[in-house]
Structure formats: structure tokens, C-alpha cells
Amino acid sequence: MSITRLLIPLSLALLSACATQSGRNVTVEKLSQCPVRLNNGQNLILSLPSNPTTGYRWAIQDSAGGVLKGLGPEVYRNPEDAGIVGAAGVSTWRFQAFNAGTGRLRLTYQQPWAPEVPPVETFDCAIAVN
């Protein structure tokens, strides 16, 4: 078998692997992107505007635990170009779909020391995993 005949199937296999990898992450940044459909093994990256300097934090109320598993804690990122102390940033969570079914990913934005006060904002997203 010639080298060319070996390289063509190998190249096609590598290209298909790269194409599959790019669809591995699904990013959600606003409620209008819900509901979300995922395949088993896909990652969900949730990024929401946040400003912890105000005392408000996002708290996960329902993590769609039957279909999603967390891949780490919340990561807060402040835009470097803001140049303003106390400027708003973005909180990001990563999840992986691990089980077929449905669930809800629900977060509330409120001050943790005042749970009796209604949240300023709620993020409630239906999740379906194939």
C-alpha cells in the first residue's frame, strides 16, 4: 500500500475528530438561548454578568443534577479594559452532560446574607440531554 493511500484515510479521520471536538462545548450567555439541548458528553459553559463588589452573587438553586455534573467552581472574570474599580464582570460555570433526560439549571442573583429578600434576577433554563 502506498503512502498516499495511508495518508488519505488518516487525514479524514483527523479532520472528523477536529469537527467533533468543536461541537463539544455549548455556551449560554443569556436566557434567550434556552432551552438547551445537549448530547451526552457535551460541555455546557454558562456565563452571566456579575458584580460581586455590590454584594450580589449568583447562587445555583438547581444544577440539573440528574443530567449535568459540575466541572469546577464558579470562575469570576473582570474585563481588563474596564479600568474602573468595581466594574462588572462575568461569572462562568462549566458542566458536562452525563445522562440522558431533562432538568433545570436555575440560579438566583442576590446578596447571600439576605436570603429572605427576593432575588434581583433569576436564570432558569431547561436542559435536555440526548
The answer to which of 84-88, 103-107, 111-115 has the lowest mean pLDDT is: 84-88
CA 46 to each of CA 23, 39, 61, 87: distance values in angstroms, whole numbers, following the listed order: 15, 16, 14, 20
- Listed by start position, the domains of the chain span 26-129
* For residues 93-121, average pLDDT: 97
C-alpha–C-alpha distance, residues 7 and 73, integer Å: 42
* Residue 7 burial by Cβ neighbours in a 10 Å radius (0-12, 13-18, 19+): exposed
The answer to which of 4-18, 19-33, 58-72 has the lowest mean pLDDT is: 4-18
Global confidence as pTM: 0.78
* For residues 104-127, average pLDDT: 96
Element (H, E) at 71: none
Q: Taking a C-beta distance cutoff of 8 angstroms, is the pair 36, 128 a contact?
A: yes
Cell 464558579 belongs to: 74
- Output 80 or 105, whichever has higher pLDDT: 105
C-alpha–C-alpha distance, residues 103 and 63, integer Å: 8
* For residues 105-128, average pLDDT: 96
Res 34: pLDDT = 97
Res 10: pLDDT = 40
Q: List the grid coordinates of 52.
A: 460581586
Res 11: pLDDT = 43
Res 41: pLDDT = 97
Q: Report the 3 state secondary structure along 28-65.
A: ECCHHHCCEEECCCCEEEEEEEECHHHCCEEEEEEECC
Q: What is the architecture, at CATH level 2, of domain 26-129? A: Sandwich (2.60)
pLDDT tens-digit map of 19-61:
334 479 999 999 999 999 999 999 999 999 999 989 999 999 9
